[in-house]
Amino acid sequence: MKTIVLGVESTSHTFGIGMACLENNEPVILANERSVYVPERGGIHPREASLHHMREAPIVLKKALDKAGVGIEDVDAIAVALGPGLGPCLRVGATLARFLASYYSKPLVPVNHAVAHVEIGKLVNKLHDPLIVYVSGGNTLIAIQKMKRYRVLGETLDIPLGNLLDTFAREAGLAPPYIVEGRHQVDICADWGDEFIDLPYTVKGNDLSFSGLLTAALKMVRKARDRRQLGNVCLSIRETAFNMLVEVAERALALTRKKEVLLTGGVAANVYLNSKLDSMARLHDAAFYTIPREYAGDNGAMIAWTGLLAYLHGVVVEPEKAFVRQRWRIDEVDLPWLPE
Amino acid sequence: MASRVVYARGAEAVLYRIDYMGLPAILKIRVSKTYRHPVYDRLFRYRRTVVEGRVLSHLYLLGLRVPALYFIDPDNYYLVMEYIEGLRLSDHLDRLPVNTIESIAYDLGRQAGIMHSNTVYHGDFTVANVIVKDDKPYIIDFGLSGYSRDLEEYAIDIHLLMRSIEALYPSHVKLFMESFWSGYKSVVGEAKCRETMDRVRDVRLRGRYIEERLRRKIKRERYM
C-alpha cells in the first residue's frame, strides 16, 4: 500500500511544492522544492510576490516531480495551503492545485498552513503530544493538541515575532537582505552591542504584545550614535522579545506539564531562541525539539505531509468550493488524526 | 522563616508556606532563569518584585481583598505576604450556588473597578488568581501587574477574566459577567463602564476572534 500526495505552498514569500509518501506505514518526503521571492527593498509586496509565484510555479512543480521520480498520474491527491496567508499569494497556489485536481481527476485536500508547520515538526522529531511554540513572520502562538484540534494557549495580540524582527531590521536600515549566511540581521547587529537597554516587556496573561517594543526600539535606534549603540538596541530587542516568548511558553508548560517542547516555524531557525527554549525546557524536565532549517521556513513538504494525513482520514474538498481563507486560524480546523 | 514547605511552584516563582512572626504567610521567591541573560535576569526579577510589592500594599491600603504585604527584599527577589486560606475560584466555580456566584462576581467587579480607578492593572486577571474565602473573593498574584492610565490595560484584565471562565465554565459566563459588570459599574460609573465594555469587545475582536470581525465588516458594507 503506497499513497503519494503532492503539496502546494504559496501563503507568503515562498512558492513550494512538496511530495510526501506513505509506504507500509513508513512516511517519506520525496521532494521539497521551492522558490523564494526576495524583495529588492522594503518588505513583501503581496502583488509582486504573487507575480513571482506565477512565474515560478510550473518550474518548481516540474523540479519536484523530477526529484521524486513520480509522474503526476501516480499522485493520489493534491494538497494545498488555503490559508492563513496573503490573499494574492494564496490564490496562485489554490489556482494551480484546483487545476491539477480537476484536470487529472485527483482529490483536492485543503490544508491549514499553521497546522502543517506543526505536523512537519512532529514528523521529523517523532513526537506525539508536544507543547507547540510556533513562531514565524505571520504567526506567534503557543498551542497544545486537545480533542482533535490544536488549542491556542497564548498568542500575540498584535504583530508576530518574525514580523517584529524583520520590521525592526528594515526600519533601522539593516535590511534587506534580512538573512545573511543563515543569520538574521538583528543577530548580526546584536554582536556589536554589550549593554542592555530597558525596553517595554509586555506579557498579558498568556498573550504577548510586541508593537510597543518595536516603537520603543526604533526610537532608541534614532538616538544611536555609533555601531555599539545600535548593537545595544539589537541585543536588547532580541533579549526582550525572546524572553517574553519563552516566559509565556514556560507558563504554558508549567500548566500543561507536557514532556516535550516543539519549536517550529520560520523563526525556529534562530540559534538564540533555540538555546533559550532548550534551557527553559530543562528547568521543567521536558525535552526540547526544534525543526531542521529546510522545514523551518515555509515549504511544500509540510503541506504534502499534512495533506497526506488529511487525505487518509477522508478530508477532501470540491475544487469549486476550495476558497482561500486569509485568516484561517489554527484552532478552527478539526483534525481527525489527532487523539480525543 | 526557619521551616519552609514548598507550597506551589509557578513558572517564575516558588511559593513557600511559612510562619512569619506568628502569622501564617507565603514566601514568594522569584527564581533565576538560565534562559535569560544574567544581567537582564537580575534586573527583571528585581523589577517584578518591586512592582508586585508596591501594588499589593497600595491595594491593601485601599481596602481591597488582597494578601497583606508583610515583608519585601527586592535585592534578593522575594516578598512575604499574608496566607489566604481558601479555594481557587477556578477549581470550584460550578459547585457554588447561583446567588454565591453572583455575589462573588459582583464583589470582584467592584474590586476591579477600584483597582482600575487607581490606575492599577492586574495583568493576569483569571479565575485561577481569585481565592474564595468565606464566600468572598480575594485577588492574588500581582506578578504581571503595573500602573497605567491606558483603558486598554483595564479592558485586557476583564478580557482575560472572561476568557478564563469561557475556557473552564462556559455555561457560567453570562451569569458571572452580568454581576461582574454591575459591580464594576457601581464603582466607576455608567459612562466609564460603557467605555470599558466597548474596549473589551474591541480586544475580543482582535486575534483569536478574527472571523467575528470579518463578519461584522461584511454586515456593515451591506448598508453602504
For residue A62, give the nearest of A87, A90, A29, A96 by alpha carbon: A96
Catalytic residue flag (residue B198): no
Give pLDDT, residue B216: 55
| Concatenated DSSP letters of A24-59 | TTEEEEEEEEEEE---SSSS--HHHHHHHHHHHHHH
| Cα angle, residue A209 at apex, residues A207 and A214 outer, rounded to 5° | 160
The answer to whether residue A292 scores a pLDDT higher than 80 is yes
The answer to whether residue B58 scores a pLDDT higher than 60 is yes
DSSP A157: S
Residue A215 forms contact with B (CB below 8 Å): no
Average pLDDT taken over every residue of chain A: 94
Residue A197 forms contact with B (CB below 8 Å): no
B224 — pLDDT class (breaks 50, 70, 90): very low
Q: Among A191, A207, A213, A251, pick the best mutation site for testing chain B contact (most B Cβ within 10 A).
A: A207
Candidates A157, A198, A205; nearest CB to B207: A157
Separation in Å, CA of A325 to nearest CA in chain B: 10
Give pLDDT, residue B210: 52
Least confident of A180-184, A187-191, B73-77, B126-130: A180-184
Give pLDDT, residue B166: 84
A339 — pLDDT class (breaks 50, 70, 90): confident
ipTM reported for the complex, 2 dp: 0.79
Q: Do the Cβ atoms of A205 and B210 come within 8 Å?
A: no
Residues of A in contact with B145 (CB under 8 A): none
| Concatenated DSSP letters of A211-270 | HHHHHHHHHHHHH--SHHHHHHHHHHHHHHHHHHHHHHHHHHHHHH--SEEEEESGGGG-
Q: Do the Cβ atoms of B124 and A204 come within 8 Å?
A: yes
Candidates A155, A156, A205; nearest CB to B126: A205
Give pLDDT, residue A290: 97
The answer to whether residue B211 scores a pLDDT higher than 70 is no
Q: Among A204, A245, A280, pick the best mutation site for testing chain B contact (most B Cβ within 10 A).
A: A204
Kindly name the residue from B41, B94, B107, B124 that is annotated as catalytic: B124
Q: Where are the beta strands (DSSP E) in B74-158?
A: 78-82, 87-88, 120-121, 130-133, 136-139, 146-147
Separation in Å, CA of B10 to nearest CA in chain A: 7
Q: In what order do the strands lie in the sheet with A108-112?
A: A26-36, A14-23, A2-9, A77-83, A108-112
B4 — pLDDT class (breaks 50, 70, 90): confident
List, for residues B7-36, the tens digit of each pLDDT value: 888 888 999 999 999 999 999 999 999 999
